[in-house]
Amino acid sequence: MNRSPLSESVEMYLKALVELSDREMVAIGRLADRLGVTAVSANEMVKRLGEQGLVKHTPYKGVALTKKGRDAACNILRRQRLWECFLYDHLKIEWTQLYEYACSLEHATAPEVTEALAAFLGNPQTCPRGNPIPAADGSFAPLNGIPLGELDTGRAATILAVNATATEVIKHLYDRNLLPGHKVTVLEAAPLQGPLTLRVDGKDVALGLALAEYIIVSR
């Protein structure tokens, strides 16, 4: 029922929130980091989002999406991921650029176009980056996986999804074959937040913990 057109900025905030919502409460600092804005700016925006009822901010605790906000965010994810499918499967756009290009298109997509696109694509359930595509009503089953950083040493797992958003980060992961469907084993976790040593496709790869957070693997 909420047909007020959200601004591009607002959409980015909502998307970031839903993508960061492993834990319920998202610290404003993390949000600001992901969006590449200052904490002050993020604070201002969160205030505005709160006024629109999209978000609940508990000072010193964090931000959480409301029902309304989560619905809006799922819709945004749906549009974005449908575009990723189209760009990858039909336009043959490079995997590393999918997020960036789909993100731009997403903001410019009317509901009618979204649904027509979904039908054209045959209502896919998963985007090329491994993430589930929310249904038109906003419902979707989150991935049943854990960040690579939490995988036990020695355990092999399959990559389910790659959630990085910065194209340079995506490229970095792509170059190391850290892609959905590939198998990884954590050989070693260096102390003091040091890098992980991974075994991917028969090669050893060192990966910073921050990067490992972006990779969701099966349990």
Positions in the binding site for DNA (CB under 7 A) = 7-10, 12, 27-30, 35-41, 43-45, 47-48, 57, 59-62
Least separation in angstroms between residue 44's CB and DNA is 6
Task: State yes or no: residue 148 binds its own copies (CB under 8 A).
Answer: no
CA angle, 67 as apex, 61 and 68 as ends, to 5°? 110
Q: How far apart are CA 38 and CA 159, in angstroms?
A: 32
- Quick one: which H or E segment has residue 68? helix 67-85
Task: State yes or no: residue 7 binds its own copies (CB under 8 A).
Answer: no
**CB-nearer residue toward its own copies: 12 or 31:** 12
Which does residue 122 touch among DNA, its own copies, none (CB within 5 to 8 A, set by kind)? none
**CB-nearer residue toward its own copies: 42 or 101:** 101
Q: How far apart are CA 218 and CA 101, in angstroms?
A: 27
Which does residue 175 touch among its own copies, DNA, none (CB within 5 to 8 A, set by kind)? none
Task: State yes or no: residue 167 binds its own copies (CB under 8 A).
Answer: no
Least separation in angstroms between residue 21's CB and DNA is 15
**What DSSP string runs through 149-217?**
GGSPTT-EEEEEEE---SHHHHHHHHHTT--TT-EEEEEEE-TTT--EEEEETTEEEEE-HHHHTTEEE
Which residues in the 71-90 window bind its own copies by CB under 8 A? Answer: 87, 90
